[in-house]
């Protein structure tokens, strides 16, 4: 069995979020400032946004507007829309980036790796052969091929064309 280590993530997942700022997903759920908040699409119960600290270009997340800490606590409508948006995200990522594969995942609870344990969110990220290479694993450096505003524009357009 192979193991990939990412020690640079420890500080992020082990630190307490600043209480004064509240929940990052609840703040970004408020309409307006779409580009500033990297929001790609707003649905009825959920929205899609870019990850501010992406593992790869195109790493996005889907979160419900409701502040819940488990998938079981989410309303059936939010859970269903989350999966619908995951399907759109998969199609958009394949169109824009042509990845070799896609990871979908949720970290429920702090000990499961959730950086924001109080508000569920689904990670959707494109993957390519060799994207966990020497530079990221040993050199603790990620190489991203474009800036977040460019990624935001490309994926926002893809979402709009798929949901119209």
pLDDT tens column, 74-118: 999 999 999 999 999 999 999 999 999 999 999 888 888 778 888
CATH 3.30.428.10 fits 21-162, yes or no: yes
Can you give the pTM of this predicted structure?
0.80
Counting Cβ atoms within 10 Å, is residue 47 exposed (0-12), middle (13-18) or buried (19+)?
Answer: buried
The span from the CA of 65 to the CA of 141, in Å, is: 33
pLDDT for the residue 114: 76
Catalytic residue among 45, 59, 119, 121: 121
CA angle (83, 86, 91) in 5-degree steps: 135
Annotated catalytic, 3? no
Angle (nearest 5°) at CA 119 between 8 and 142: 25
> Where residue 134 falls among pLDDT bands split at 50, 70, 90?
very low
- pLDDT tens digit string along 32-78? 889 999 999 999 999 999 998 888 889 999 999 999 999 999 999 99
């Amino acid at each position: 069995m192979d193991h990939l280590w990412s020690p640079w993530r420890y500080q992020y997942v082990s630190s307490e979020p600043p209480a004064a700022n509240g929940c990052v997903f609840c703040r970004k759920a408020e309409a307006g400032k779409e580009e500033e908040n990297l929001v790609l699409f707003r649905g009825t119960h959920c929205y899609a946004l870019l990850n501010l600290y992406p593992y790869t270009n195109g790493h996005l997340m889907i979160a419900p507007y409701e502040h819940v800490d488990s998938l079981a606590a989410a309303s059936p409508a939010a859970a269903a829309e989350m999966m619908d948006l995951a399907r759109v995200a998969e199609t958009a990522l394949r169109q824009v980036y042509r990845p070799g594969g896609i990871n979908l995942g949720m970290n429920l609870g702090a000990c499961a790796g959730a950086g924001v344990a109080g508000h569920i969110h689904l990670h959707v990220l494109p993957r390519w052969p060799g994207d966990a290479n020497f530079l990221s694993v040993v050199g603790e450096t990620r190489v991203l091929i474009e800036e977040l505003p460019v990624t935001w524009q490309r994926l926002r357009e893809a979402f709009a064309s798929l949901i119209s």
